[in-house]
Chain A
Amino acid sequence: MSQLSHTKLDDLKGLAQPGQKVDLKPFLGTWKNTKPGSGQIPKIIMRETEGELYMHAWGACTPQLCDWGQARCEVFTDGPGSPLANAFLARFTFEQMDVEISSNVKLGVLVVQTYTRFKDGSARHNYYTREFYGPEI
């Protein structure tokens, strides 16, 4: 296969300036699931530490939320020359399952997709969800 410098036209739209930092602000803060009684992730805290984005998630459990801990995020901007972060990927690994997160901010709302893969040999299908989060006020 030939080595391509791009695979689509948008790959050529601008170049990042040397040392240009990606602005993580659109993600930072505490986010609350807008769906009452969600069985997924009721609460998320997004933090920046030394230029890296981290996602701390809590799963819906009773009697209290399950603390998933935090995962480092892989950040995406809205173009190869853009400093504005608009999406990220994160992965939480547990003994019985892995949860991959893909997320973006749309008009101030954090949109979170989860891809849950079971690895415990149970008869549970891998599954996908999509939920919305508003900033906690």
Chain B
Amino acid sequence: MDFNYFIGKWKNPFDQSKGIQSFEIRQESDGRVTMEVQGVSQGYFPAGWGQAEVNFLASTPGGTQASAFSASFQLPGRNVFLAGNINKGLIIIAIYALDAKGNQDNNLFVREFYHKLT
């Protein structure tokens, strides 16, 4: 699957974001694709999320062009699932943050946009 366009650094242009400030998707020497996330300082999540493996998805069965991805992070107190997709060059990420102890009152959903840094 062609996921070339996703590779690189992406930035959130929203200055009042409480979610992800920026992230980088890169291909490692062993072929795996990983994502490193930087949270907004004083946002809903910690600043450093660390790194997680990225899974790419196509829009049609057997499609060879990646149009979306997912990744999972274990953050303090929350398990976070990221669902991202491309729309006209922009990455849109839906953040599903589930309380690690199953308390639904602490679950959180955030959706943000990211543009590619050249």
Binding site for B on A (CB under 8 A): 32-36, 38, 106-109, 130-132, 134-135, 137
Bound-complex Cα distance A107 to B17 (A): 8
Contacts of B104 in A (CB 8 A): none
Pick the residue among B17, B88, B116 that contacts A108 (CB under 8 A). Answer: B17
Contacts of B115 in A (CB 8 A): 32, 34, 109, 132, 134-135
Contacts of A137 in B (CB 8 A): 11, 117
B109 at the interface (CB under 8 A from A): no
Contacts of B15 in A (CB 8 A): 108
B112 at the interface (CB under 8 A from A): yes
A35/B17 in contact, CB under 8 A = no
- Asked whether A34 and B14 contact (CB < 8 A) given A106-B113, A132-B113, the answer is no
A107/B113 in contact, CB under 8 A = yes
A34/B11 in contact, CB under 8 A = no
Contacts of A107 in B (CB 8 A): 13-14, 17, 112-113
Binding site for A on B (CB under 8 A): 5, 11-15, 17, 87-90, 112-113, 115-117
Name the 3 nearest CB pairs between A and B, nearest first: A134-B115, A108-B13, A108-B14
Contacts of B11 in A (CB 8 A): 134, 137
Min Cβ gap B44→A in Å is 15
- Asked whether A132 and B17 contact (CB < 8 A) given A34-B116, A109-B113, the answer is no
Pick the residue among B5, B13, B116, B117 that contacts A109 (CB under 8 A). Answer: B13
Bound-complex Cα distance A108 to B14 (A): 4
Q: Which residue of A lies closest to B112 (CB)?
A: A107
Bound-complex Cα distance A109 to B14 (A): 7
Min Cβ gap B9→A in Å is 10
- Asked whether A108 and B12 contact (CB < 8 A) given A34-B116, A132-B113, A134-B115, the answer is yes
